[in-house]
Amino acid sequence: MFLDFFYALRGEGISVGLQEWLVLMDALGRGLHGSSLGRFYNLSRACLVKSETDFDAFDRAFLRVFQGVEGSLDELEDEILQWLEDPKAFEGLSDEQRAQLEHLASDELLQRFLETLAEQTERHDGGGRWVGTGGHSPYGHGGEHPTGIRVGGPGRNRSAMKVAEQRRYKDYRSDQTLDLRQTKVALRRLRNLTRSGPLSELDLDETVDETCRNAGEIELVFRPERRNDVRLLLLMDVGGTMDPYYEPVSRLLSALHEERGLREFRPYYFHNCPYDLLGTSARLLRREALPTAELFRRFDARWKVLIVGDAAMHPAELLQPHGNIDPREMTETRGLDWLRRIQDHFERTVWVNPDDPDVWDRSQTCQVIQRLFPMFHLSPDGLALAVQALVGARTPH
């Protein structure tokens, strides 16, 4: 039952790792739960859950596993004690070994797991290296390794290869998901540090030089602090085909809003393709709109432009006059010409596309736009490349 709790938590989507689990074991070993289910609840939540957004999931898992236990708390205790003192589980591991194994980071563990899988050609039980059961290799099931990866379901004696084929580790992949923090880390590189503003920082080297020149009379030299000089203009496609990407795109937007390092940041919005007017909010209200031509007056060429959109639309929307699908607007200038003007005016413009790169070439308009702007995928790696293209050393496109 006790291990069920761990898997129930994982099942609810809480990212409990073995590191947190071992902390809880440590706490239980010290008797911090004081033989009370309520305190066990408090203790396990404090040790295992790191965000209040996961509290609800924790509660559901806790209820499911420990429902009906209140009457027989001793049973629970027994099980915990059993788990802690199970001679089979800790067999053959000295404290030193344990400590050593505990330090294996999970990435390293996964790497070695894959390597071991590649080496392994036959089934294996016991021992310390191969993937199998009952041993103390970090990989496998039924064995004991402090930070081990458990391979496969509750059944013993299953081939680790077969279980691994189910790709339980898909979720570990970092090129797939883009959370808020990853987004921010990628955007952190969006900087071009220059010294400007008030003299507020002591320049030690200059001070020493000047003092020497001054025959030992202290001459303090100050300089401006280094500041980020990047001004960013965001043009974002909203609505329609962009709706499925609401989550990642809004994370990008909130990361940009919170990125205080930027000197200036202005977002504007459009639907499918920018025409004569840009929305100043995602609602694209006409009365709040900014004439697109105004962009070129307000923002000089040094502004970096980040366009976010799937670049997929009907070809006429991009290539024909009056292409705007909004019937209220008469837009004689073609969408493509507006994009060209943006490209001409600003020194650096990149396009970030939330669509899977595999489908980019299926859309004719996406192909056309790719010839105009460097296009990157909205993923941690893609975003890093996009930022590089905006502020990095100039590469011919």
Partner 1 sequence: MADPNEFEKFGGTEGYIASPALVDAVNAAIALERPLLLKGEPGTGKTLLAEHVAEGIGLPIERWHIKSTTKAQDGLYVYDTVQRLNDARFGDGDVTDIRAYIRLGPVGRCFSAEDRHVLLIDEVDKADLEFPNDLLRELDEMRFSVVETGDEVVARQRPVVIITSNNEKELPDAFLRRCVFHFIDFPERELMQRIVAVHHPHLDAQLLDQVLIKFYWLREQDELRKKPSTSELIDWIAVLLRSGMSADDIEHHIPFLGALLKNERDTEALDQFAERGGTYPREWGQLGPRYNN
Q: Which tokens hold the place of 385? A: 């490349």
| β-strand pairing of 304-308 with 231-237 | parallel
Residue from 10, 27, 159, 381 touching partner 1 (CB under 8 A): that is 27
Closest to partner 1 by CB, 26 or 108: 26
CB of 26 to partner 1, least distance (A): 6
Residue 45 neighbours by CB distance under 10 Å: 15
43 scored as a contact of partner 1 (CB under 8 A): yes
Residue from 3, 55, 115, 195 touching partner 1 (CB under 8 A): that is 55
| H-helix or E-strand spanning residue 352 | strand 348-353
Residue from 10, 112, 184, 231 touching partner 1 (CB under 8 A): that is 184
| H-helix or E-strand spanning residue 316 | helix 315-319
Query: Which residues in the 185-214 window bind partner 1 by CB under 8 A?
Result: 185, 188, 202, 204, 207, 211
Q: Which tokens hold the place of 260? A: 């205080």
* Contacting range for partner 1; rule: CB under 8 A; set: 50-58, 68-76, 165-173, 280-288: 50-58
Q: Which tokens hold the place of 299? A: 């923002």
Among 354, 255, 374, residue whose Cα is nearest residue 309:
354
Residue from 1, 11, 13, 50 touching partner 1 (CB under 8 A): that is 50
Binding mask 245-264 for partner 1 (x = CB under 8 A): -------------x-x----
Closest to partner 1 by CB, 18 or 242: 18
Contact 102, 146 (CB under 8 A): yes
* Contacting range for partner 1; rule: CB under 8 A; set: 36-44, 117-125, 159-167, 347-355: 36-44
Closest to partner 1 by CB, 8 or 49: 49
Closest to partner 1 by CB, 211 or 364: 211
Our separate counts of H helices and E strands in the chain read 17, 12
93 scored as a contact of partner 1 (CB under 8 A): no
Query: Which residues in the 289-348 window bind partner 1 by CB under 8 A?
Result: none
Residue from 96, 217, 243, 358 touching partner 1 (CB under 8 A): that is 217
221 scored as a contact of partner 1 (CB under 8 A): no
Coil, strand, or helix at residue 163? helix
Residue from 1, 63, 114, 180 touching partner 1 (CB under 8 A): that is 180
Contact 135, 161 (CB under 8 A): no
* Contacting range for partner 1; rule: CB under 8 A; set: 1-9, 184-192, 287-295, 354-362: 184-192
181 scored as a contact of partner 1 (CB under 8 A): yes
259 residue type, one letter: E
39 scored as a contact of partner 1 (CB under 8 A): yes
Residue from 5, 9, 14, 20 touching partner 1 (CB under 8 A): that is 20
Count of chain residues binding partner 1 (CB under 8 A): 40
Q: Burial code of 159-193, b = ≥16 C-beta within 10 A, e = fewer?
A: bbeebbeeeeeeeeeeeeebeeebbbebbeebbee
147-152 own/partner pairs: CB under 8 Å, 24+ apart: 147/18, 147/19, 147/22, 147/101, 147/102, 147/103, 147/104, 147/106, 147/109, 148/18, 148/109, 149/106, 149/109, 149/110, 149/113
What does the alpha-carbon distance between residue 63 and residue 44 come to, in Å, rounded to a whole number?
13
Report the half-sphere exposure of 228 (CA within 13 A, side-chain side): 18
Positions that interact with partner 1 (CB under 8 A): 15, 17, 19-20, 23, 26-27, 29-32, 34, 38-39, 42-43, 45-47, 49-52, 55, 179-181, 184-185, 188, 202, 204, 207, 211, 216-218, 220, 258, 260
